[in-house]
Structure formats: C-alpha cells, structure tokens
Chains A and B, each alone.
Chain A
Amino acid sequence: MSYQKQLNDQGFLTTSVDALVNWGRSNAVWPMPMGLACCAIEMMAFAGPKYDASRFGSEVFRFSPRQSDLMIVAGWCTYKMSHAVRRIWDQMPDPKWCIAMGACASTGGMHRSYGVVQGIDNFLPVDIYISGCPPRPETLINALMQIQNKIREYPTTTLDA
C-alpha cells in the first residue's frame, strides 16, 4: 500500500491496536508467585540469573495481586488454602492467566488425601498445566512462552468492547 510506504519512509509504523497491545502484554507478563510447596524453589530458579525469566520480560515477581498478570500456582493446595488463592486471583486485574505448576497443582499429585484439592482447576481457570514433580525451570519457561503465544492470539480490544 502506498501510504504505508510513505509513512515507513518517514519513520512511522502502522499496525493494529490488538497487535501492539498484545506485543506489550506478552513481553511484560508479571507473575504473582503463589509458591505453596517445593515447586516454588524451581519457580525461584526460573526467576534467578541462571534460567533468567527476564529474557521473556517476566522477572518482576509481584507480591501484590493488583500488579500482576499471571498466577503461577506452584505446589499442592489444601482446601483451607484454596480460599486464599482464589481471593488473590479475584484481586488480580483482567486480563490474567494462570499456570498450574507441577503434578500437585494440576491433579493433586501424590497428595491423594482428604485435605488437598485434587487439582486447582476445581476453583481456578487454568491456562497451562505443567507436568513434573517438581518441573525443571526450563519447563516453566516453556509454559511462559505458551502463555505468551496465547496472549498474542488474544483479541484484546474487541473482547473488552
């Protein structure tokens, strides 16, 4: 298109608002670290210098739900804790995403017991499940990249209307 060429020659760029907003969102996914058990140690390694989540724009772990976009539920969740987790999830502003990290968060795992919720999807809308006990930080990076892909395909502006 001719006007695009003209604009580009003058240092402008044309794109859709969706693409621009999603580019921003997907490269600044700030996690809410819901570390409930040993998976949290791997989640810290994911944020630390060796695995370095900052390469994906996700190094800023926010302990305030108001400032985060992604909840990483790392570990087994008891019925008692589920109320706290859900309350924090409800406080996170939309749009938001959720990772069930590890076997316990995904299905209850080895905690096949009366006190443990058998999978956090009983009370949270989970986007990505990670297998492993605990999963390695690379697996969490992979899950984050899948979340990023999901965000990039998310029609932001049309859904909000």
Chain B
Amino acid sequence: MPESTFLPIVDELKGTFGDAILEVTVHSGDMFVRVDSAKIHDILSHLKTTSRYIYISDLFGVDRFTADDRFEVVYNLVNLAYQKRIFIKTRVSEQNPVLPTASDIWSGANWNEREVYDMFGIKFDGHPDMRRIFMPEDFKHFPLRKEFPLLGIPGSIELPNTTPDPE
C-alpha cells in the first residue's frame, strides 16, 4: 500500500494536535502513529468522532524493558467506511503507569484495558471496573512483565486442598 494512502489522516492529526504527534511510520502496509500520552484521550476521541474510526480492533500492552518510558500501549483502530486501519501507540513510565481510559470512547476497550492492567500493571484512569481479568484477584504480580519468571512464582497461586474435610 503506498504511503500516500495514509497521508490525509496524518495531516489531519498533525494539523489538529501538532507536537503531540511524535512519530509516524509505515510498516507492512500499516500506519503506526506514536503520540504523547498526555493527549491520548483527545486523539482517540477525535479519531472516533471526526475520522470515523468507529471500531477498536485491539488494544494491548508492550513491555519494552527500557529505563524510561518502559511500557507502550497500542490501539488498533479500524475505519469501516473506508476499510482503513491505524495503530496508535503511546508510552508510559514504569514509575507512573497510568493512562486515561478509552472505554468511554469504545465500550469494547473495557476488557482489553483490564487485560493490559492484569498483565502489565498499567492502570486506566476512569475505567468503570479496573480489576484483573485473567489472574486470580489476589494475585500480586504482573505476568507479562519481562522480569516475571516463565513458570511463575512458586506458591503465588493457590492449588486446591488435597485433604478434604472429614465428613
């Protein structure tokens, strides 16, 4: 897909948000736009209402394992009217992993944000139900962080009692 196909939306974003658009790349026919985390909610909201990216195909986290801006959250948006897809990325630090929620823009982001919280510990401000989605609720760790061991931490998840109560 030629790069020019993407230019209108990039021009529009740059015209509206200026410096908040940090990096634009095209790879394998897809457009990736990295934006400032402070402006992420405005940008996503703009994409939904003005640019008709009405469908959130995916939302996931990445542990880049770097000293600053360690975590990245990627929003995979689809414009069904023009069959276009855009990836919006934003980064947060390990010390303050908080982002505004996108679940008020697309309801479908609700469970994806819970998954990102479960796996990476990134909190979504304003989320209606910020609980773990896969791991037990009393689990203390974030399994997809790079420092988490593959086989887990022994004893961190309880196994069933193998000596049932006598009748």
> What is A's interface to B at a CB cutoff of 8 Å?
79-80, 82-83, 85-87, 90, 112-115, 117-118, 122-124
A sample of 23 cross-chain residue pairs with beta-carbon separation below 8 angstroms, ordered by A number, consists of: A79-B157, A79-B158, A79-B159, A82-B159, A82-B160, A83-B160, A85-B160, A86-B160, A86-B162, A90-B164, A113-B150, A114-B150, A114-B151, A114-B153, A114-B157, A115-B135, A115-B143, A115-B157, A118-B151, A122-B159, A123-B159, A123-B162, A124-B162
Consensus secondary structure, chain B interface:
loop
Contact A115 B159 (CB under 8 A): no
Using Cβ atoms and an 8 Å threshold, which residues of chain A touch B135?
115
Q: Which of B152, B153, B158, B160 meets A87, CB within 8 Å?
A: B160
- Give CA–CA (A85, B161) in the complex, Å: 11
Output the least CB separation between B150 and chain A (Å). 7
Contact A114 B149 (CB under 8 A): yes
Annotate B119-147 by CB proximity to A: 1 below 8 A, 0 otherwise.
Answer: 00000000000000011100000010000
- Give CA–CA (A85, B150) in the complex, Å: 24
B148 within 8 A of A: yes
- Besides A79-B136, A82-B160, A112-B151, 18 more A-B contacts (Cβ < 8 Å) are A80-B136, A82-B159, A86-B160, A86-B161, A113-B150, A113-B151, A114-B150, A114-B151, A114-B153, A114-B157, A115-B134, A115-B135, A115-B152, A117-B159, A122-B159, A123-B159, A123-B160, A123-B162
A79-B136, A79-B157, A80-B136 are known contacts. Are A114 and B148 too (CB-CB below 8 A)? yes
Using Cβ atoms and an 8 Å threshold, which residues of chain A touch B143?
114-115
- Give CA–CA (A82, B143) in the complex, Å: 19
- Give CA–CA (A124, B163) in the complex, Å: 10
Output the least CB separation between A104 and chain B (Å). 15
The residue of chain B having its C-beta at the shortest distance from the C-beta of A86 within the complex is B160
Using Cβ atoms and an 8 Å threshold, which residues of chain B touch A112?
150-151
- Give CA–CA (A139, B135) in the complex, Å: 34
Contact B152 A114 (CB under 8 A): yes
- Give CA–CA (A123, B161) in the complex, Å: 8
Interface residues of B in 29-79 (CB under 8 A from A): none
